[in-house]
Structure formats: C-alpha cells, structure tokens
Structure 1
C-alpha cells in the first residue's frame, strides 16, 4: 500500500511541476497563469515531500520530508487566495500580505525541534518513515488554511450570483475544483495506512489545477475572466440608478454618480440609502411619477429618461430602475438636420417647400396676410459679367438684408434661382407694399466687391394680399403677376396687386 502511495505522490509531483512550468510560461497571456503556477508548484513540493516522509529509511530524512511539506502548503493557500481574487474580478491587494502566512509558517517549522509547537512529537518507524503528532501551532495553521479556503469559496459563490448567465458555468467548475482537496483533506484525517496517515490532499490539488486549467484555457465563455452584471452596468455611458420601493437609492453606476453630482452639487458624498427627491434635483425629481419615457431639460442639457418598474413573482415591486441618457448632442443634431431640411443651402433662408407649407397654414388664420415675390434685376448679366461666385454672394447678401429688414414674424424663402418670396402675416397689402419699398431702397445701397469694381444690385417686387375666398396658390399667383408688372414697368420697383400701386424707380442704376 505504501509503495502505491509513493508512486501516486511522485507521479503527482512530476505532473504538478509540469503544470507549474507551463503556467509560468503563459503568465504574459493570462492574468490567472501566475497564481496557477504557484499553486501547482506548491502541490509538487508537498507531494514530493510527502513521499519522502512516509518512506525514508533514515528518521532524520523522514523528518525533513515532513517539515518540507508545509512550505508547499503555504504556497497553495497563498496561490489560492491570489487566484480567487483575480478570477472573481477583485484586486489581489498587496501581494506582500500573501507572504505573511508562508514566512511565519516556515519560521515555526524550522524552529519546531526546539519548541515543539507545530508537532508535539514525531514517531519514527523501524521500516522507514515517521508519523507526526500535531501541536497547537499546527491546528492554528490548519484553521487559517480552512478559513482562507472558505473565504475564496464565498467570494467565488458571490461572484457567480452576480455574473451574467453565460459565465456561471465557469464558476461551477472553479468551485468544484476548490471543493475537491478540501473534502479530500478531511477524509485523509481518518484514513491510515498501517500506523501512518495517508494525506491525499496534494494529489487532489492536482485535480483542482486540472479543472482550473481547463476552465481557463478552453471553451467560450471560459476563455476570458468572468463578467459580472455590475461590470456591465459600470461600462455603460448611460446613467443607471436602482431605487427601492420607497424611492431610496440602492445602487448607481459611475455615469449616474457623475450626472447626479452635476445636476445637484449640493448632494455631495455617497447617494446609496438617500431618497431620490433629495439627490435628483428639481429637474428630475418628478420623473418617478410621470410617464415611463420622458425628455427632460436640466442645466442646459437634454436628458432621455426611462423609468422601469420591476415586478416580483408575488406581484409586488422590489424597486425601480431609472436609466438616463444625455441626448443634448443628439437633439442638437436633430434640430440641425430639421433646420437643414427647410433651409436653402446657399442663402440660409427658408426653401420653397417650407414656405408653401407655412402659407397653407397661414391662409386659415384670422387677419390680413400678404405675399411678396422678389426678383433680382438683370441677374443673368451679373453671372455672365462677374462670375457665379459673385452671383452667389449677391443672392446671399440680398437674402440676409431682406431677412433683417422683414423681422422675425415674416417668412423669407428662396423661391427659385434669383427669386425670393416673403410671407407677411398680419400685414395688409398697402402696408406690405410700403415695407417692401423700404427694403428695396435699403438693398439698393448694398455694394458687392468684384474684380471690376463695386457692384450694386436692385430688385423688382410684386405684392398681393390674400382675398377672403382665395387660397395659397392664388395668393402667390397674384404676387407673381404683380412682380411681372414691376419688371415690365422698368424693374427696380414695387407693384401691389390689390392697390395697383407702383413706386418710382430709384436713381441707382441697375446692374447690366
């Protein structure tokens, strides 16, 4: 029986040493490789020392083998804590703290022949090997080891509960590997080979290393470190907040903590356990009682707020999840795209489609309504003589001048190539013609620099007032007819369809 045990111990030691070397070579590829290398190296030392302790013919050599097991034990426990911390997504902390137990253990073991605190006595056997009898320091060491195994197991169990479903299988393998040597060690305390105890723990740690090696090297999702739900939430740029049924904070992700601090600087410090109304600020305070999806303006920002009320199996509500996304830039881009859809790309005033839509709405409003059609005089000659770049500048300057003069109530649009249309709500035909005459005089003073010298451009305009029985198309048609009359009368003038009024031409010469 002893020969079989020695064979098992030596084989386990060689295999564990091979595992340790292979793991060490992979230390730059996996964060778990170094700790796994420490565990398997400790198992190799423990197994080899165990085989010497139960077979050495010399009592002195057998005693050395007995004491030599425990540095291997310390390496396994330190490696286990390190491996568990990395595997469960925790910081290993200061690695120097993991050396406290191994250093103390080695010191106690080396001095044990003088104080007998670790082994109260060691019995030598005539056929080789020894049997140690534990002392109080041994039991203290054993209690520490089991406490650390329990701590690592508890951490892994908690991490498994927090992990996404696809990674829980990895934790099952991990916990199974941790359980095997613990059970084996307890069994070994009650199994004897003749008058010697047979400790199978180092061999079973080889089973642990094999399971952990497989979990770390094979399969998806085992190839990477497990992902916890908290890590997923922390990675989101959206603010995620969990509230209990009373509206108190249970948890927030980093994005939420940053947003809450910006919304309510007075609510400093941790928010968990504090009420929503105190922390969220006045802008968001009412979202819990509103609709499930809202857009809220706060501190110059726009937020998309979604309130998800959780439901338990018994019909109750364990709490609420509030997800807030900053959509300020999105809303700005949306408004910009909307504005681009109704604006002329060159001049920046509204386009014809928007003017038509607005006019159709305006004809149903009470009060007078006038339309103005404007055409740049001799614009083809401007393009032919000075080039299209100068023509574009003329249109842009003219559009800006008319917009400034018309005011915010008017709707100014580019109607065609060099044609503009203006809608004047609340303005009757004669008053509208007077306004346009002022625009004409104002625009006639504009000067555009060209390679041939300054250029001044005039326009002709037709004005029409909406008749009580007319529609939008009729109004524009009459304004266009008045514009045609202004051009036929010599250009650079305003003609009103309803009042049949024309203004005298300006003395500023038109471009030709």
Structure 2
C-alpha cells in the first residue's frame, strides 16, 4: 500500500505542477491543479501513515490527509462550476469555497481536545491504525458529497444545453469524476476495516489524468466548453431576467452597466430588487407589457427594448427576459439619412419630393401662400462664368432664403435655378412683401469669380391658396405670376392676381 500511495502522490504532484503551468491557456487549469495537488497531499499522507513507526506519528499523518481532502472537494466544485459557465461573472463567490477548508482544518487541529471528528482509534491485527469517525467527520463527508453533487448537476445541466461538439467533453468530465466517488463509497461503507485502505486519492489521480488527457488529445478542440451563461455575458446587449413580480433574477455585465447608469446608487448590484425601483417608474412604464418598443432614457439615449415572456411546460410564466440595445447612434444615422433623402444634394434646402409632401399637408390649413423664385439670366451666368460658378450662385441664393424664413416655412429647390418657398398662415400680400425683402437681400450678395465679383437678382411669383385649389393649382398660379414678372423686366415680385408688389429695374 505504501508504494501505491507514494507513487500516486508523486505522480499527482508532478501532473499538478504541469497543469498549473497552462493556466494562461485555460482557466480550467488552476482548479484541476488544486484537485491533483489535493490528491498528492492525500496520497502521500496515507503512505506515511502506513509506515509511521509510532501511533502518534500515524495519527498525525492520518489528520494530515484532510487538507488534501478539502482541496479536492473545493477544486472539483470550482472546476465543475467553471465548466458549466456559472463562475465566470461571479468570481468573488470563490471565496465561499474557503469556508469548508477553514472549518475542516479547525475541527482537525482541535480534535485531540473534543474528539468530535474521530472518536478514537483501534489497532488492527497488522498493527495499522483504524480510526472511528465522529459526528464532525460525517458532517464533513455529507457537505463534501453535497458540494460535489451540486457541481455534477451543474455539469449535467450544461451538457444538456451544449451544442453537440461540446457534449463529449462533458461526458469525459463526468466519467472521470465518477471513479473516486465509487472508490470513496467503497472505503466508507463496504467494510469498516477498509478505511485503512483508501482508494479515493488514487482514483482522484485517475480523474485528473482523464480530464487532462481529454483536453490535450483534442476530444474537443475548444479550450473550454461554451455555456449559455458565457454567451450571454459576452453580449453587448443588456440582458435582464425578471421573475413574475418584476424582481431581478439575473443580469449580464452590459445590463449591470446600463442599470448602474440609470440608478447610480445600485452600482449594478440589482439581484432581488424591483425593476421599477432601479429603472425609475416613468422609464419602466414606457414599455411595461409591450413586446417591443423604443424608449428614450433620461440622458437622451435611445434604447430598443424587447420583452420575452418565458413559458413553462404547464403554460405558466416563470419570468420575463428583457433585452435592451442602445440604438442612439443608429437613430442618429437614421435621422440623418432621412433628412438627406428629402434634401437637395447641391443647395442643402429641401427637394421637390419633400415639397410635394409639405404642400399636400399644408393645403388643409388656412391662409397658405407660395413664392416661386427664378434666378434671373442664369443661363448667361453658366455660359460666361462656368457651371461651377453657377452652382455657387444657387448655393448662396439657397442660403439667403433659408436664413430669412421662419421655422414654419419651407424652402425647396423646384428644379434648375428655381426655388419654392411655402408660407403657411400667410396671405398673398404679406408673402409678396417678404419675397421682395428676400429679393433685395439676394441682390446684395456677391459671388467671387475669376472675372470679378458677381451679383444676381431673381424674379418671383406669389400665389395664395383659394377655395377648391389643389397643390398643383397653387404652383400653377405662382408660375403664371413668375412669367409675368419676367416679361415685365425681371428683378421683381408679382402676385398671381397681376398686381406688382413693387417695381424695380434690372
């Protein structure tokens, strides 16, 4: 037995060191190293207990087994939880794994005074030490099996959710983990005397070797199995799981960051708290009960919110999944593209398509007038100065018009050198007076050219909406007035009834 324990202990120690050296490649290496290190301490202590020359030394090495036991149990659960993706975002919970080893060591060290861990010992016929378990021993054993059972359940549940290529790794994990459990049960319950021949540490070495070989020979090419929890944690969308009463059951890191911004005092620690308490009643009420909605946050950010109600096999709703995506930049780009779709590419004022939509809506209101503007002698400008200068002239005229109108007015390029200004709530005479001020304003603007400064004028026709008129009728009347302005000598404004607003010579 001494040789078997010693060889197993040294092998486990060597493999543990080699495994931990790969910790940068996979986070599963550290818990596997802890398991193998614990198996090494367990086996070596068993070996020394077998050959100890005195009862006191044998008892000491029997107690020395339990640091290794604690490492094995904690390492098994740690690796199980990591494999199942349950500790990636909760690493602080690893500290809870230290509770059992600390309490176990306290019980073992103090056992000579209270004898609650081992009630006593007997000497077997071959002179070996046989210990009688006490209540704390059985409590430690029950806890160890409970913790390992929880770890196994996590792995089984992860295997059921995993893709086909990942399931083989989980099967090897479960196969390797079952060997020491069987050995320990045989040691505990098959025969009382068998406690001096413990197969468990040797079989934990087998477990470590199976897991290590399974990963290295490519049972699965991935370094680690991918669990749903890891996938959700990697998403940039905020994912929140709520119970039927609206309390947080789980959130991914993106959701924790979003909720911390909405409720700074929470700092993202929201598990068990009410959704409305964290998000704010007004913000939460914007999509409560809705499947999909767009919500604007208090900071102006825009969110796409999707609500999925989970359904159990019996038809009940165990909770709700809320997925929130920040679409602020997307909405900005969408608004920009929408605006570009209704703008003239050269001048930046609205295009003819948008003008049609505005007129269709504006004819339903009272007192609507339009001004149709044509840049005078524009063909001569293009022929003498070139089309580039002609474009500059159109841009400057458009800028002057856009800078002179009200927010409710609309300036649009009608085609070529023609512009239309829509003036809701304005009669014809008022519109003509305003158009004449625009005419004087544009006439004062000079465009630099290779041949010297260039100034231009425009002619304008004004029409007011009459009962029964459609948008086409209104534009036709304005076009007729513009034609009369040109025939009268240009650089003037004419109302559709034929009267000049004012007379100017070119």
On the 8 A contact 2:287/2:305 being kept in 1, the answer is no
Residues 1:131 and 2:128 are matched in the alignment: yes
CA distance in 2, matches of 1:268, 1:62: 57
1:330 is aligned to 330
Task: Sort the Cα spacing of 1:63 and 1:27 in 2 relative to 1 into closer, same or farther, 3 A.
Answer: farther
Q: More deviation in 17-26 or 411-420?
A: 17-26
TM-aligned CA distance change 1:260 to 1:474, over 3 Å: same
- Alpha carbons 1:239, 1:253 under 8 Å: kept: yes
> How many angstroms apart in 1 are the aligned matches of 2:131 and 2:157?
39
Tell me the distance in 2 between the aligned counterparts of 1:104 and 1:278. Answer: 43
Note the alpha carbon deviations across 1:188-211, whole angstroms, 9 max, x for none. Answer: 356679999532223322332234
> Could you tell me which residue of structure 1 aligns to residue 314 of structure 2?
314
Aligned to 1:185: 184
Q: 2:77 aligns with which of 81, 84, 92?
A: 84
1:78-477 to structure 2, matched below 5 A, reads 78-82=71-75, 84-89=77-82, 90=87, 91=91, 92-93=94-95, 120=121, 125=126, 130-134=127-131, 144=140, 147-148=143-144, 150-158=146-154, 161=157, 165-166=161-162, 169=167, 173-189=172-188, 197-214=196-213, 216-217=215-216, 218-220=218-220, 223-229=223-229, 231-263=230-262, 271-287=270-286, 290-299=289-298, 300-363=300-363, 365=364, 367-383=366-382, 390-450=389-449, 453-466=452-465, 468=467, 471-477=470-476
Alpha-carbon distance between aligned partners in 1 of 2:481 and 2:4, rounded to the nearest angstrom? 110
Give structure 1 stretches of 5+ with no counterpart: 112-116
Relative to 1, partners in 2 of residues 1:305 and 1:10: Cα closer, same or farther, differing over 3 Å? closer
Match of 1:32 among 8, 18, 28: 28
CA distance in 2, matches of 1:45, 1:298: 57
SS of structure 2 residue aligned to 1:490: coil
How much does 1:87 deviate? Answer: 4.4
Deviates further, 490-499 or 184-193: 184-193
Whole-angstrom CA distance in 2 between matches of 1:242 and 1:49: 48
TM-score calculated relative to the size of structure 1 = 0.75
- SS of the residue 2:283 aligns to: coil
Change (3 A) 1:123 1:443: same
Counterpart-to-counterpart distance in 2, 1:52 and 1:366: 101
Q: Cα RMSD over matched residues? A: 4.6
Return the offset for 1:402.
Answer: 1.3
Q: 1:445, 1:60 → 2: CA distance?
A: 115
Task: Describe the SS at the equivalent of 2:446.
Answer: coil
Between the aligned partners of 1:180 and 1:362, the Cα distance in structure 2 is 83
Q: Deviations over 1:75-102 (max 9, x none)?
A: 4642542353254243344999998699
- 2-structure distance, mates of 1:189, 1:302: 62
1:491 equivalent in structure 2: 490
Deviation per residue, 1:165-187 (Å, 9 max, x gap): 10794556545533431331231
From the superposition, tell whether residues 405 and 281 of structure 1 become closer, same or farther in structure 2 (CA, over 3 Å).
Answer: same
Unaligned runs of 5+ in 2: 113-117
Rg larger in structure: 1
| Alignment partners' CA distance in 2, 1:34 and 1:317 | 40
**CA distance in 1: counterparts of 2:252 and 2:246, whole angstroms:** 17
Aligned length: 489
CA distance in 1, matches of 2:43, 2:249: 49
Structure 2 contact 307–320 (Cα < 8 Å) conserved = yes
- Label 1:206 to 1:118 Cα distance change in 2 as closer, same or farther (>3 A): farther
* Aligned 8 A contact 2:77 2:148 in 1: yes
8 Å Cα contact 1:53/1:63 also seen in 2: no
- Output the CA distance in 2 between the equivalents of 1:302 and 1:321: 19
Q: TM-score, length-normalised on structure 2?
A: 0.76
SS, match of residue 284 in structure 1: helix
Within 1, Cα distance between the matches of 2:73 and 2:265? 45
1:105 CA drift (Å): 11
1:389-448 deviation line (CA, Å, top 9, x unaligned): 554443223212212333233221112232212233344444433332221112222234
Q: Secondary structure at the match of 1:407?
A: coil
